[in-house]
Structure 1
């Protein structure tokens, strides 16, 4: 069987003829050099062109990223090397480099070196830190130099391919080649090194329609790849998969098995002759450039082949190399949530097949590797071969003694203690009667069929337990084998398995035993990876979050910037471990006691939950309180939380006014006092409301409270607070309510509201009108408005202009007497008619009122005048300021 490839097209763009492609090492960017002299950068995730450079009027045949400098370097048919800053688009330099077309550029991975090859048959080494000086020239080829590749295992060595039919290997310190590889019948177009450490290989493609794999230590041909019908322009080893790719002027891309050298796939995207390529281990990307554009494809899964046992021992594959580490050792020092763990990596050995799936047995003693249509079981510690065989897929049973192998779409074999069980002991599995697509392990053997059906089988008898109509992508089982989750494209289901219902069933129908599987819940989330810890399902989702599910409640532990795979949970460490595509491992704290507490709450075992509480760290309790609040247990949530903010919110929700008041005192935050005041008013606790409003400095609400309760003393205190806070409107209102017109007038004068002050004096304090008008005049004169000042009439000088002015002076004295006696707000209805009294008219009708010592009927408001008392003054509209405002 061959390598299982999941080929997906990520980007296809129609452009001018593409002569060179390069991939950015960290960004999802692809560099495209065109025959029309332009260079562009595309983002293959967004499928958009993000940068463009006008390099030359002639073709650009070579272009490379220099990521550590934020550069693009190009070589074109005008014989020039150019460098651009790809962030600013600034051209940094341009200089003549060769005497003929520049065909190829290689960037040294660590040194400030650029190596170029040309049709002038020379290779040159440039140092950009020495002002782009050519520090060495390599001569020896007899025809055009088409390609240069630096050895990744020895960066002091590089290889070159030429149309003189040879490949030469050079050292940077020598101008003559170390050796020459000969074998192609025509010119060689491309050369590349193998990236791994285990094989000293080169690959080349030539005009003889073949690609050759070379052992450069023995100077010999390892394999010749034949199949193209035109010149082979592209050849390379994929950096992260055991795949060799070649492409030709015949318009096809061929993918070959890197182990057997057998052709696995041929691709043709209809873009014409192929001229360029780029590959990256990031997301297993391959890019191909041709006459009519370029295409970017991914060749396999993004998630790495990696597994962790319950004790924190991690094993992973890098191509066919197997490595391991122990996260427990890495977390013995204080582990920080979300930070990369400092791992001590150990080489275990190699694998005979390319691992497309790697998984520990449930007890952690063995590891199975699947790939290339085979499986091999190794011991986890010594990495010794324990068993092997042919199979498309592999699944462990809940006990490590049993496992299943899908041999074909029609047959599944069961094994016990590494020996195949007789087919007649499980006839339902040895001959399925339907087409199986994938199998999953666990307490039951799960088989997904082509009709989007999940078939659950008993490991012992091989009988059908239940058939479920669901398109399952993955199946995860809890440790006790009672609960499992079925992952689909857009959601996942939580189901319960009753083994007693299955084993006690009298008959088994074609759909299995109905009562054996019970539906619990469906969660609308796209799960990427997951595992069960007790009754808690921990998972990562497509939104790059780490969540866990208890009952039907989902809780978020962390957010990520990129996709992460869940490795598992180590109960001894109380930590969840995850890994990214680059095999960087991170962890997050999730105490087992939290999961057990939540499970006990959901099962109604409150006493057991109370016993667990002391073992739960204090910093975790606010999250636990959020869980209890969602379950409607707010009293208990308020008791256990250590977050004062959360405790305060819960106290408010529960109408625990005194407790909330004490919490507000601890923080003394105005926002909290406002909330307490609102609750106190709701509960008619006016004493606490008054205290809270004062501390919240909510003086407007306090005014409402004082006026509603007839609290004159409070109004007087409030006027002082308003004065200190420069809330002039509120201060004015307090003085008015307290029947203190003199203070109202002085406030208006103090804040320079002199027009309002004059009108107020005429209405309420006519004896102060003259001095107020004089101040108004002085202000106008100072503002250079003499005409307006002259237009103002003083009632003491022109009493004839002010109707009943002398009587208003008597009314002022009379109002002082009647306002000296205060009345309660509760008596408002008895005195509401007093608001309409005309004191001037009363004094005209009965002048003896001024001589009375006691006034029997006090007024609620101050003295009033009729509309005719105030004559319209001929003043400029702009001379009268706005009403009193809080300055």
Structure 2
């Protein structure tokens, strides 16, 4: 079985006796022999939290995520529960009179099962203050492991050193049945997660791993390979494998269909004790004597293929499922919403699929995996052909295909029989990693991409580039060559290639240079992709759905999760995607919009004008934004139906009459911002009358004052001052009156706004006749504030003109009988300050 094994986390610690993945957080819980419990971030490798649980070994730990708890059992007979967010100890009590060796949490009920060296299993209900609701007796040695049945959570199985495995019901204290599983003690038991087999896997101190049919109580298979006692063996929920770990220090991966040993892993951390599976990401955690390791098996991407008509086929393990997106009844769902699809099982595959490929006409589906390929008929799912191969590619006619048997062996078949010619020229000279179907056969290796002609086997072109994928357009003229952080769009010119052949030019290992032209290079990562005509749709590593047309890339929608493109159905005007669990999502993408954009980018405005009336109305604003980006603003203004966009374009084009019409149709307060923008733009094109109207309607009095001052409009300034005073814009009203030279209204405004001192000073300079009145107002104001002494010290201007000649601060200080620092630093003592 061929899949990658990548180490994600490697952390040394004290002996790890228990481990558990959190179902939603990126956390891994570990219970240590020194009594501590650690929580790691398995993505970053960082130690997130540490709990000092006990002074003796913690042998078992589990998350209870719905309560934000974890539960731990230890050798001091205590069961302890902690809130992992607050570090609060929720509960602690003696659960058994001996070591607690294992525990498990019910998937839905408020129940924890514990197994102990006292030879009993107990059920605890946390909703009943951790009351023991049942004791299960019958084993005659240490209980090593407990696990719930995923097909019936009211039953569970236990493994014991008395050499037996027992099956229990939650409500009964006695076992339903007992199986004599091994010649020596049983260390672990786990259920097969699928619905098709009533199987258990067990490990024993006889160094074997056994598969059991628990309905017939018969042993299906015995697997040998560990050189010491295996501590655990578990069925993987997504991959057809069994993972085992042993005191010999190794982790072994077995094929759960053939029971053949596929891989042996060793991390030099001494004995392996415990395991946990992260079910949604194919990740496995293994605890050892000297630390914890997390490995990732295979890939997260689903294995699927959709033909042009919308028929979807995908696999789960080795079960093949099918659905037809063309028959979807509700295609009006909002972009990004999940779409229900009727799914049916159509068969199984004999190999674990790593790739599915529909033939171009949709009649056949090729399954590739485990170094083999099988071609099935798409409708009846019957085996049509098979063979050895790590890669497979269909030609455009669905009758020809190529198989990559090894890095240096490429075979070509026609009508399901191998062609008798010499095959592809120079195919054995380069180490090829993968092959790709299309109008010509593509292949990639380390540092190069090469294309062969299907019929002649001649090299069409060899290009030096580090590629990871190749996608051919359905028209056969464009190809996307994808590297790690960018992609190249190339145009294939078959006529240029054929003309070289007709001229009798000898084709070298580099092929024909004129066969391909570079159309564009885009700095963007491509994860999955499909061509729709000459439009390249793809998902990025940043979870965006983009499309490339002409020579530019555009974003359709961002996404919160990783998505995989299934294909496009023109009748729905939607592109369909799936997540890794094969939930279906749809996004609108009009093919006519793409065609219109293509025509515009090519400069074919006549064709674009013909396509324009066919565009869906809901797509017109999107098209207008595209035209604006191409600096075709006049055309964008004609196309857009969005008033805000029309307004912005009108301003950019200085079409102020259109902008005014839009502003007059908009309700407050949005109209104010539009009128302000019109006013600013009108000034730049010397339309002062429009600017004045716009500033008045926008209520922009400051801009209006500058405009009126610039044009010398005295009457307008007088109206502006009255308006500003009415609106409470007193500073602007004062400045306007001052510019008009009306001193008396300025004094009146200062008095009206309770600024009598400033009014007095202003009046002394600009309106002396107003001084007595203002000073009286000042005095009255001080008296109302209980500052009579200061009020009495203010001289009337007719009696003491020197008050204004020397400066009012110094004169006021002298009249009050004490020094005052005009800069604010007073020499008056605190006790005298009130009188002063």
TM-score if structure 2 supplies the norm length? Answer: 0.94
- Determine the C-alpha separation between the residues in 1 that align with 2:460 and 2:424: 14
Map of 2:691 onto structure 1: 689
1:134 Cα shift?
2.3
Alignment match of 1:54 (pick from 44, 52, 55)? 52
Map of 2:593 onto structure 1: 594
Map of 1:885 onto structure 2: none
Map of 1:793 onto structure 2: 795
More displaced 10-residue stretch of structure 1: 358-367 or 520-529 = 358-367
Map of 1:458 onto structure 2: 453
Map of 1:192 onto structure 2: 190
Q: Deviations over 1:762-815 (max 9, x none)?
A: 22222221121111122223333334323322123345x479xxxxxxxxxxxx
RMSD of aligned Cα (Å): 2.0
2:499 maps to 1:504: yes
Map of 1:552 onto structure 2: 551
Is residue 619–residue 642 contact of structure 1 (8 Å, CA) maintained in 2? no
1:872 Cα shift?
5.8
More displaced 10-residue stretch of structure 1: 172-181 or 311-320 = 172-181
Map of 1:166 onto structure 2: 164
Map of 2:682 onto structure 1: 680
Is residue 331–residue 341 contact of structure 1 (8 Å, CA) maintained in 2? no
3-state SS, counterpart of residue 282 of structure 1: coil
Map of 1:243 onto structure 2: 241
Map of 2:663 onto structure 1: 664
Q: Deviations over 1:114-157 (max 9, x none)?
A: 22211111112223333333222222211100011212122232
2:480 maps to 1:542: no
- Determine the C-alpha separation between the residues in 2 that align with 1:138 and 1:144: 13
TM-score if structure 1 supplies the norm length? Answer: 0.88
Q: Count residues in correspondence.
A: 811
2:286 maps to 1:348: no
2:428 maps to 1:432: yes
Alignment match of 1:256 (pick from 248, 251, 254)? 254
3-state SS, counterpart of residue 763 of structure 2: helix
1:22 Cα shift?
1.1
Q: Deviations over 1:240-269 (max 9, x none)?
A: 111111111121111122222222221111
2:440 maps to 1:444: yes
1:200 Cα shift?
2.0
1:416 Cα shift?
2.0
Map of 1:492 onto structure 2: 487
Alignment of 1:103-142 (within 5 A): 103-142=101-140
Q: Deviations over 1:669-722 (max 9, x none)?
A: 322222211111110000111011112222112111111111011101111221
- Determine the C-alpha separation between the residues in 2 that align with 1:166 and 1:672: 82
Q: Deviations over 1:31-67 (max 9, x none)?
A: 1111122222222113223333332222111111223
1:878 Cα shift?
8.6
- Determine the C-alpha separation between the residues in 2 that align with 1:713 and 1:391: 92
Is residue 103–residue 112 contact of structure 2 (8 Å, CA) maintained in 1? yes
1:644 Cα shift?
1.9
In structure 1, stretches of 5+ residues that fail to align are 804-866, 881-887
3-state SS, counterpart of residue 504 of structure 1: helix
Q: Deviations over 1:706-755 (max 9, x none)?
A: 11111011101111221122111111122223332221111010011111
3-state SS, counterpart of residue 658 of structure 1: helix
1:331 Cα shift?
4.8
Q: Deviations over 1:173-193 (max 9, x none)?
A: 433333333242321111111
More displaced 10-residue stretch of structure 1: 121-130 or 570-579 = 121-130
1:333–1:549: structure 2 CA closer, same or farther, 3 Å change rule? closer
Is residue 18–residue 291 contact of structure 1 (8 Å, CA) maintained in 2? yes
3-state SS, counterpart of residue 520 of structure 2: strand
Map of 2:722 onto structure 1: 720
Alignment of 1:353-502 (within 5 A): 353-422=351-420, 424-428=421-425, 431-450=427-446, 452-502=447-497
1:870–1:214: structure 2 CA closer, same or farther, 3 Å change rule? closer
1:511–1:333: structure 2 CA closer, same or farther, 3 Å change rule? closer
3-state SS, counterpart of residue 655 of structure 1: coil
1:139–1:757: structure 2 CA closer, same or farther, 3 Å change rule? same
3-state SS, counterpart of residue 613 of structure 2: helix
- Determine the C-alpha separation between the residues in 1 that align with 2:809 and 2:423: 112
1:518 Cα shift?
0.8
In structure 2, stretches of 5+ residues that fail to align are 814-819, 825-836
3-state SS, counterpart of residue 694 of structure 1: helix
- Determine the C-alpha separation between the residues in 2 that align with 1:869 and 1:332: 85
Is residue 791–residue 873 contact of structure 1 (8 Å, CA) maintained in 2? no
3-state SS, counterpart of residue 355 of structure 1: coil
1:26–1:399: structure 2 CA closer, same or farther, 3 Å change rule? farther
3-state SS, counterpart of residue 509 of structure 1: coil
- Determine the C-alpha separation between the residues in 2 that align with 1:46 and 1:574: 41
1:524 Cα shift?
0.6
- Determine the C-alpha separation between the residues in 1 that align with 2:682 and 2:64: 67
1:868 Cα shift?
8.0
Is residue 792–residue 873 contact of structure 1 (8 Å, CA) maintained in 2? no
Q: Deviations over 1:479-505 (max 9, x none)?
A: 110001011011100001011111221
- Determine the C-alpha separation between the residues in 1 that align with 2:37 and 2:315: 37
Map of 1:147 onto structure 2: 145
Map of 2:79 onto structure 1: 81
Alignment match of 1:765 (pick from 741, 745, 767)? 767
Alignment match of 1:176 (pick from 174, 177, 190)? 174
Alignment match of 1:234 (pick from 232, 235, 242)? 232
Larger Rg: 1
3-state SS, counterpart of residue 598 of structure 1: helix
Alignment match of 2:743 (pick from 737, 741, 746)? 741
- Determine the C-alpha separation between the residues in 2 that align with 1:761 and 1:673: 39
- Determine the C-alpha separation between the residues in 2 that align with 1:261 and 1:716: 97
3-state SS, counterpart of residue 61 of structure 1: strand
Alignment match of 1:223 (pick from 221, 232, 236)? 221
Map of 1:637 onto structure 2: 636
Map of 1:816 onto structure 2: none
- Determine the C-alpha separation between the residues in 2 that align with 1:434 and 1:477: 22
1:742–1:879: structure 2 CA closer, same or farther, 3 Å change rule? farther
